[in-house]
Chains A and B, each alone.
Chain A
């Protein structure tokens, strides 16, 4: 067991290096969730509202991809972004941008699959009304996403949780470069392997606290929205 006092000292001692790591972790995961949501929300909602041959296959694959192994996603993005890869010319490997791309790919299926489920359920309630109002398919997607917005907050949180907690993708495409691409999770993994358990534990506590704070903020926003919008 690590020495609790030193872990706490680290957390409350105002170490600038620690804050930089915390800030980068938040930045990468929040950007990844936003990027993923831009694609996954409309995709999930459209999938919920359309029927086409092979739809069941797409849904099954999407659900399965919720459990994508982070290291595999990391490796794929690494191959894409590496100097000899198809996107190598971008020169973003081992930068926070690469980490954002990789995490976005990781959480996209989660957000899309959960959105699909949420919107499908809401559609059962809305179908007759929106059909009677002769609402166009594109507007249906927008309407259902908007009206499901409070449930979708939880969906985005699930995505954020996955992004903030994973270590495999950011380790591979970020490289865990001190002061540049080191995040909470990669730092914890590194410090653990170095045997600096107090530091690893301190970082772990900060990460957990951070996730709780983000969830609390989202919960508050959701409650206020629900009270206002009914």
Chain B
């Protein structure tokens, strides 16, 4: 069966199944289990109201539980076993990993990524948001800078492979070097700095995200505070740094943490650009090296990523709870 027909059938079954499930389960709840009959009418309606939320929630909770909660436990459990999964080795995988040069390199590089990428994206995003704020063609400019968001990490990597290409007739960087009479250079092979050239790709993609959110935050600043500052004789830079930025610190933190989380998940760029060679490995790509080969090691790496994400997760939950009350 051709996959596209399979796909169409799946859509029909999936959507039909969802609607059917919700419709029928409601029907059964109201008509069969707790029918509002004369003698216990009120009690049955109340009971149905108590059960109904769980009917609505069941598919989502089931899927979330299976696909996101179970793996946290399942991965950790698997990481305690050896490569083939039949021998319990406790923290063995973690111990070997931390003793290995490649893993420490990946950890260090990932640390660099987490340090640089969110900061650069937030800074560039804020810069563009502020510059385009009063511009007549600001929306067009924003739309163009936002565009890389739609491009896959693989596509973006290929785009930047062109920019970084060794041949001065293809790579624009080496063309510029060439016009100054310098020898072409493969930026992917410069030790240490190649990491930053990889980061540029993610910064290029994510600046648009930061810009959109920060731009909305800038627009949300009460006009009076700015007017008051102008009357007091503040110059544009003072207005920006002393009036605007302090009022959007909350949003800046959100953007920063969101991109930090993303950085810990993206393996595509390193995978497509260098394959982890030339000391550019980061944790997600290091994990993919062991995927299919050594599940114990792969899950151990995944769990390390989880541990790094954990503080952000707790922070987010706290913020959400604060907002609800």
A binds B: no
- B residues with CB within 8 A of A: none
